[in-house]
A and B are shown apart, each in its own frame.
Chain A
Amino acid sequence: MSTIILNASPNGSKGNTQWFIEHFHAGYTLPCQVRYVVKENPESLAADLVNFDTILIFLPLYVHAMPGILRKVMEKMQPARRGQSIGFVMQAGFDEGQQSQYALKYFHLFAKRMGYRYLGTVHKGGCAGITLLPMPGFMTHKLRKKLAQLGKHFEQTGTFDAIIQKEFLQPYNLTNRQIRMMEFAGRLGLDELIWNRMLKKAGTFDKRRDCPYL
């Protein structure tokens, strides 16, 4: 059974999506082929996908859905051949799982429309800082372990581990207590701290609220 992994991040081999693929692959005994959407022609990549039994697409959530570069490949894809499967692994900056609901819905409908067996979508929020900061190893230890488990399970069964999939989607919504805490952190300026540090480093802190197109 042949599986292809697509990295659909505009950042290609640098960034969170690649990090997710590497740790997912850590659970594999025989890693599969990975191709980078950003480096490919959408039409020829879409044509090549018919040669694989399983298509696994790793992506960042961009404006509640897939990045434009992936959309351009999807719109060139032909209906599935008999027995082909498709699944998605998506990571996002915002914490709540509900932010991904529009993408999750569409991926399901896309698989149905195109005749693929839908393997589901794994979504993990709260990932903005992983490669941006980058986060120290101990902070991502649990996530790395879970991704390797997800990969191992996928290689063995051809499906996503439902428990990890469910766990990753949490928190689906922020609780009132979490919102109050975030707002309190905001009043203290803590939520802006990381961005402001990066802006200061780039020498653009004073321009951070510029409105250049007015």
Chain B
Amino acid sequence: MRKIIVHEFPLADASSDYYFDMEKVDFHDCTGCWTCWKKRPGQCVFSDLDQFYHAYVNADDVIFHLKVVQGFVSGNIKSLFDRMIPLFLPYTSYEKGESMHLPRYPKYPDVTVYYKGNFISKEEEEAFCNYIHRVFYQFHSKNIVVKPAEMKMEAEVMA
């Protein structure tokens, strides 16, 4: 069972095979150049996320610890999502009744997202959770769990 953790805030966790600290790793924003789909299929024009890509597609589980900023994901996380496009094919599938990019890899990890931050309404929190679900559904993850970080801390206290 290979597990990786991507975090914007530290949270006690069992050991992982790869740790991606968003506060420490500086990476480029997506430039929309489509090198990853045309000139070097599957590879981004920048090599600053190569270790992350390798860890992600070879993982069984990916745990995200995300900060909520103005009721949404941060700019850094949004850029990370944009930069994940090389992991998928440019071709479109309609198998699920809508347009979706075809997978490039034989499998993608299950994803659990723990989020921390303030929402000003239930509607905002719901929109945030729906967005995260949709991103990883589009990214072909089979099991996607999105919950507040406090739930994880409470579970640990109970244990």
Contact of A68 among B53, B71, B79, B105 (CB under 8 A): B79
Report the interface size class on chain A.
Answer: 35 or more
Q: Is the CB of B42 within 8 A of A212?
A: yes
Q: Is the CB of B105 within 8 A of A214?
A: yes
- Closest A residue to B84 by beta carbon equals A63
Contact of A64 among B83, B120, B135 (CB under 8 A): B135
Q: Is the CB of A113 within 8 A of B70?
A: yes
- Known contacts: A11-B32, A109-B127. The answer to whether A213 contacts B78 by CB under 8 A is no
Give residues of chain A (102-121) contacting chain B, Cβ–Cβ below 8 Å: 102, 105-106, 109-110, 113-114
- Closest A residue to B93 by beta carbon equals A186
Q: How far is the CA of A10 from the CA of B31 in the complex (A)?
A: 5
Q: How far is the CB of B9 from chain A (nearest CB, A)?
A: 16
| A42: Cβ under 8 A from any B Cβ | yes
Give residues of chain A (137-158) contacting chain B, Cβ–Cβ below 8 Å: none
Q: How far is the CB of B32 from chain A (nearest CB, A)?
A: 4
Contact of A213 among B53, B69, B73 (CB under 8 A): B53
- Known contacts: A195-B37, A213-B42, A214-B105. The answer to whether A64 contacts B134 by CB under 8 A is yes
| B143: Cβ under 8 A from any A Cβ | no
Contact string, B62-98, partner A, CB cutoff 8 A, digits 1/0? 0000000111111110111111110101111111011
Q: Is the CB of B41 within 8 A of A207?
A: yes
Residues of B within 8 A of A98 (CB): 98
Q: Is the CB of A63 within 8 A of B82?
A: yes
Residues of B within 8 A of A202 (CB): 38-39
Q: How far is the CA of A192 from the CA of B101 in the complex (A)?
A: 12
Q: Is the CB of A64 within 8 A of B131?
A: yes
- Known contacts: A106-B72, A213-B58. The answer to whether A183 contacts B41 by CB under 8 A is no
| B138: Cβ under 8 A from any A Cβ | yes
Contact of A67 among B39, B57, B78, B84 (CB under 8 A): B78
Contact of A10 among B30, B105, B120 (CB under 8 A): B30
Q: Is the CB of A75 within 8 A of B104?
A: no
Q: How far is the CB of A2 from chain B (nearest CB, A)?
A: 24
| B21: Cβ under 8 A from any A Cβ | no
Q: Is the CB of B41 within 8 A of A209?
A: yes
Give residues of chain B (96-125) contacting chain A, Cβ–Cβ below 8 Å: 97-99, 104-106, 120-121, 123-124
Residues of A within 8 A of B74 (CB): 71, 75
Residues of A within 8 A of B33 (CB): 11
Residues of A within 8 A of B80 (CB): 68
| A81: Cβ under 8 A from any B Cβ | no
| B29: Cβ under 8 A from any A Cβ | yes
Residues of A within 8 A of B76 (CB): 68, 72
Q: Is the CB of B41 within 8 A of A110?
A: no
| A91: Cβ under 8 A from any B Cβ | no
Binding site for B on A (CB under 8 A): 9-11, 15, 42, 60, 62-69, 71-72, 74-75, 94-96, 98-99, 102, 105-106, 109-110, 113-114, 173-174, 179, 182-183, 186, 191-192, 195, 198-199, 202, 204, 207-214
What 11 additional pairs, Cβ within 8 angstroms, besides A71-B72, A183-B95, A202-B38?
A10-B32, A60-B32, A182-B92, A183-B94, A192-B91, A198-B38, A199-B38, A207-B42, A208-B89, A210-B43, A211-B106
Q: Can you report 19 A-B residue pairs in the complex whose CB atoms are below 8 A from each other? A: A11-B32, A63-B135, A63-B138, A64-B138, A68-B75, A94-B99, A102-B127, A102-B131, A174-B97, A179-B94, A191-B91, A195-B37, A195-B90, A198-B38, A202-B38, A208-B41, A210-B43, A210-B104, A213-B50
